[in-house]
Amino acid sequence: MYDINRKGESGLLRFITAGSVDDGKSTLIGRMLFDSKNLQIDQLSAVEASSRKRGMKEVDLSLITDGLLAEREQGITIDVAYRYFSTPARKFIVGDSPGHVQYTRNMVTAASSADLVVILIDAESGVKSQTRRHLYLARWVGVSHVVFAINKMDKVQFSEEVYQNVTKECFGIAESIGYSNLHSIPVSALAGDNITARGDQMDWYAGPTLLEYLEHAPSAHDSTGLPFRFSVQRVMRLNRDNVQENSGFDGADLRGYQGLVVSGSVSLGDEIVVDPGGYRVKVARILNASRDCVKSVFTQESVTLFLDQDIDVSRGALFHDVTDPAERRDEFNAELCWFDERPLDLHRSYLMKHACSATRIRLKSIHQLIDMETLEPTQNHSTMRMNEIGQVSLRAQNIISFDSFERNQGTGAFILIDEVTNRTIAAGTIQ
Tens of pLDDT along 336-367? 999 999 999 999 999 999 999 999 999 999 99
CATH number at residue 156: 3.40.50.300
Instruction: Average the pLDDT over 393-400 and give the result.
Output: 95
CA–CA dist 262, 248 (Å, integer): 26
- Does 221 fall in a domain? no
How sure is the predictor about 291, in pLDDT bands with cuts at 50, 70 and 90? confident
Spatial CA neighbour of 303 closest among 275, 250, 358, 266: 266
Instruction: Average the pLDDT over 234-249 and give the result.
Output: 63
* Whether residue 39 is found in the same domain as residue 126: yes
- Does 4 fall in a domain? no
Domain boundary among 321, 349, 379: 321
Residue 72's pLDDT is what? 37
* Whether residue 262 is found in the same domain as residue 297: yes
* Whether residue 109 is found in the same domain as residue 245: no
* Model confidence pLDDT, tens digit, residues 379-395: 989 999 998 999 999 99
Share of the chain above pLDDT 70, in %: 82
- Does 263 fall in a domain? yes
CATH number at residue 280: 2.40.30.10
The total number of structural domains in the chain stands at 3
Residue 8's pLDDT is what? 47
Chain mean pLDDT for the chain:
85
* Whether residue 68 is found in the same domain as residue 192: yes
Reply yes or no on whether the pLDDT at 266 is more than 80.
yes
Residue 411's pLDDT is what? 95
* Whether residue 400 is found in the same domain as residue 305: no
- Residue range(s) defining the domain that contains residue 27: 13-216
Domain boundary among 182, 216, 250: 216
Q: Is the pTM of this model over 0.95?
A: no
Q: Considering only residues 83 and 294, tell me which one the structure prediction assigns the higher pLDDT.
A: 294
108 near 102, Cβ under 8 Å? no
The strand pair at 229-238 and 116-122 is best described as unpaired
* Whether residue 296 is found in the same domain as residue 417: no
- Does 1 fall in a domain? no
* Whether residue 259 is found in the same domain as residue 306: yes
Task: Give whole-number Cα distances, 15 to 59, 107, 207, 217, in Å.
Answer: 25, 12, 20, 10
* Whether residue 335 is found in the same domain as residue 297: no
Residue 381's pLDDT is what? 93
| C-alpha atoms less than 13 angstroms from C-alpha of 230 in its C-beta half-sphere | 29
CA–CA dist 205, 232 (Å, integer): 51
Instruction: Average the pLDDT over 299-324 and give the result.
Output: 93
Reply yes or no on whether the pLDDT at 304 is more than 60.
yes
- Does 2 fall in a domain? no
* Whether residue 49 is found in the same domain as residue 156: yes
How sure is the predictor about 222, in pLDDT bands with cuts at 50, 70 and 90? low
Share of the chain above pLDDT 90, in %: 57
Residue 68's pLDDT is what? 36
Domain boundary among 292, 321, 350: 321
Q: Where are the alpha helices (DSSP H) in 129-272?
A: 129-140, 160-176, 210-216
Task: Give whole-number Cα distances, 162 to 42, 123, 191, in Å.
Answer: 39, 7, 18
Dihedral angle sign, alpha carbons of residues 295, 301, 304, 310: positive
Q: What is the DSSP letter of 342?
A: S
- Does 313 fall in a domain? yes
- Does 6 fall in a domain? no
* Whether residue 312 is found in the same domain as residue 332: no
Instruction: Average the pLDDT over 218-228 and give the result.
Output: 77
* Whether residue 315 is found in the same domain as residue 399: no
* Whether residue 263 is found in the same domain as residue 175: no
CA–CA dist 366, 403 (Å, integer): 21
CA–CA dist 406, 413 (Å, integer): 10
98 near 107, Cβ under 8 Å? yes
* Model confidence pLDDT, tens digit, residues 51-105: 667 666 666 666 766 543 333 344 333 356 688 899 999 999 988 776 555 557 7
- Does 246 fall in a domain? yes
Sequence-distant (≥ 6) Cβ neighbours of residue 56 within 8 angstroms: none
Reply yes or no on whether the pLDDT at 289 is more than 50.
yes
Spatial CA neighbour of 89 closest among 4, 150, 147: 4
327 near 425, Cβ under 8 Å? no
